[in-house]
């Protein structure tokens, strides 16, 4: 595992997040959520700090991080692409959309392109089933995406 080092500033920021939840171990998921917001992902070092601040074991923190697909230990791309695999999106061909993204970006789900521009992830139901299949790029939602439309979406961010 590649080691990253946390700067003192970011370490303080992380500790402040823990403190805002009173360093309560029951708030682990909330802390992780915010930490991922700061760092974009949850590298081992971040999990170690959280474990220490919340007085729980690192193994436990990792147990939670590895359980929820929302949490990631890999840095996301500048434009994180998420494809909904909820029931509605799935039956309307989300899988073909994923395949198209994989083909164009030359990465698998859970990976980031070498230039750090895009990462690919799946999620379950964003609550916009009427627009199925749904794709998110960052916070922007694309509805009724067909495999043919994938190229255009990518181009929006590479221009």
Partner 1 sequence: METIKITIDNKVIEVAKGTTILKAAREAEIHIPTLCYLHLHDLNIENKPGGCRVCVVEVQGRRNLAPACVTECTDGMVINTHNIRVLNARKTVLELILSDHPTDCLICAKNGNCELQTMAQEFGIRELHYEGEQSTYREDTSPAIIRDVDKCIMCRRCEMMCNDVQTVGALSAVNRGFMSVVAPAFEMNLDHSVCTYCGQCVAVCPTGALTEVDHTNAIIRALADPTKTVVVQTAPAVRAALGEEFGMEPGTLVTGKLVAALRRLGFNYVFDTDFAADLTIMEEGTELLDRLTRHLNGEKDVPLPILTSCCPGWVNFFEHQFPDMMDIPSTARSPQQMFGAIAKTYFANKIDVKREDMVVVSIMPCLAKKYECTREEFSTDGNPDVDFSISTRELAHLIKQANINFNALPDEEFDNPLGESTGAAVIFGTTGGVIEAAVRTAYELHTGKKLERVDFTELRGMEFIRSATIDFNGLPINIGIAHGLGNARKLLQDIKDGKSEFHAIEIMACPGGCIGGGGQPLHHGDSSILKARQKAIYQEDAGKTIRKSHENPYIVQLYEEFLGKPLSEKSHHLLHTHYFDKSKEIKVVE
Q: How many CA atoms lie within 13 A of 3 on its CB side?
A: 3
d(Cα 33, Cα 65) in Å, to the nearest integer? 10
d(Cα 111, Cα 75) in Å, to the nearest integer? 9
d(Cα 36, Cα 70) in Å, to the nearest integer? 10
Contacts with partner 1, 53-72, as mask; x by CB under 8 A: ---xxxxxxxx--xx-----
Nearer to partner 1, 60 or 117 (CB): 60
d(Cα 76, Cα 13) in Å, to the nearest integer? 20
- Interacting residues with partner 1 between 114 and 143 (CB under 8 A): none
Question: Exactly one of 48, 78, 95, 111 binds partner 1 (CB under 8 A); which one?
Answer: 48
Nearer to partner 1, 38 or 141 (CB): 38
Q: What residues line the site for partner 1 (CB under 8 A)? A: 1, 5-8, 11, 44-45, 47-49, 52, 56-63, 66-67
């Amino acid at each position: 595992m590649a080691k990253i080092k946390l700067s003192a500033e970011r370490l303080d920021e992380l500790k402040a997040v823990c403190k805002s939840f009173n360093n309560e171990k029951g708030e682990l998921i909330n802390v992780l959520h915010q930490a991922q917001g700061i760092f974009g992902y949850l590298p081992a070092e971040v999990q170690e700090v959280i474990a220490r601040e919340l007085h729980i074991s690192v193994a436990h923190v990792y147990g939670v991080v590895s359980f929820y697909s929302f949490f990631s230990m890999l840095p996301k791309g500048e434009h994180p692409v998420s494809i909904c695999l909820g029931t509605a999106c799935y039956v309307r061909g989300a899988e073909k959309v994923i395949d198209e993204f994989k083909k164009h970006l030359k990465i698998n789900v859970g990976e980031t392109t070498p230039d750090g521009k895009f990462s690919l992830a799946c999620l379950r139901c964003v609550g916009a089933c009427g627009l199925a299949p749904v794709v998110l790029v960052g916070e922007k939602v694309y509805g009724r995406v067909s495999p043919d439309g994938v190229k255009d979406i990518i181009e929006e961010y590479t221009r």
